[in-house]
Amino acid sequence: MKKIIFSSILALSLIYCSENKSENKPIIKNAVDNADSSVKSSFESGRRENMIHEIYNELMKNDKNLQALDDKIDNVDEETEKVTSQYNDVIDKTENYYTDANALTAAISDTILKQEINKDIKASSEKYQIKTKRIKDLIEEVSKNRVKLHDQYVIFQIKKTLPEIEKYQNAHPLKTDSLNNFINKQNQLLNELKNLK
């Protein structure tokens, strides 16, 4: 009995699929309206990277102001790295020196000599901390500004690309026809299966 029901279902499915092959194409075409967009290539192929970046890069191709802005952002980012790395290099080496000095001092067996040299290291380190405090504060400000610039640029890119995704949505209004038709066909097949004996 189970074999007969399974065979009937399989036969009905095959008949149903072969009848509807020719009908499926118009249904799918009918699902959306096709229209051109100013950044059409961003929407044509499969997703490769972040959609905002793709659309924004398309917009930049035809807008010299956007290209110039992007170059400015890149240049400031590179300069930030160069400017801060010069200071960080000197500060890091100095701090590594004091760390190494303290490590070597820990191995000194004479406690009086150890205390004297520890005092000298601490005094030198504190003097350097005072000397570089303003520099470190400025480096921190530069780093915070770098983050702020990045955040503002991301916000700008999103605002610039929002109208493009909205144009795409308007150019491709999703219709319910094909889904309704397909649900009707599913229901027909369900009814046929229910009436099978």
The whole-angstrom separation of Cα 138 and Cα 132 is 10
CA distance 53 to 38: 15
Mean pLDDT of 134-147: 96
Place of tokens 């793709």: 54
Q: What is the pLDDT of residue 21?
A: 44
Q: Are 72 and 62 in contact (CB under 8 A)?
A: no
For 90-108, b where at least 16 C-beta lie within 10 A, e where not — what string?
Answer: ebeebeeeeeebeeebeee
CB-CB contact of 8 with 192 (8 Å): no
Q: At what angle do helices 177-195 and 2-31 cross, to 10 degrees?
A: 170
How many other C-beta atoms can be found within 10 angstroms of the C-beta atom of residue 167?
A: 16
Span 156-194, pLDDT tens digits:
999 999 999 999 999 888 888 899 999 999 999 999 998
pTM higher than 0.85: no
Question: Looking at residue 74, what is its pLDDT?
Answer: 96
Q: What is the pLDDT of residues 17-72, one digit of tens each?
A: 444 444 444 444 444 445 455 566 666 655 567 999 999 999 999 999 999 999 99
pLDDT over threshold 60, residue 3: no
Whether residue 111 has pLDDT greater than 80: yes
Q: Is the dihedral of CA 107, 113, 116, 121 positive or negative?
A: negative
Task: Collect all residues with Cβ–Cβ distance below 8 Å to 88 and sequence separation of at least 6.
Answer: 139
Of 126, 139, 144, which is closest to residue 90 (Cα–Cα)? Answer: 139
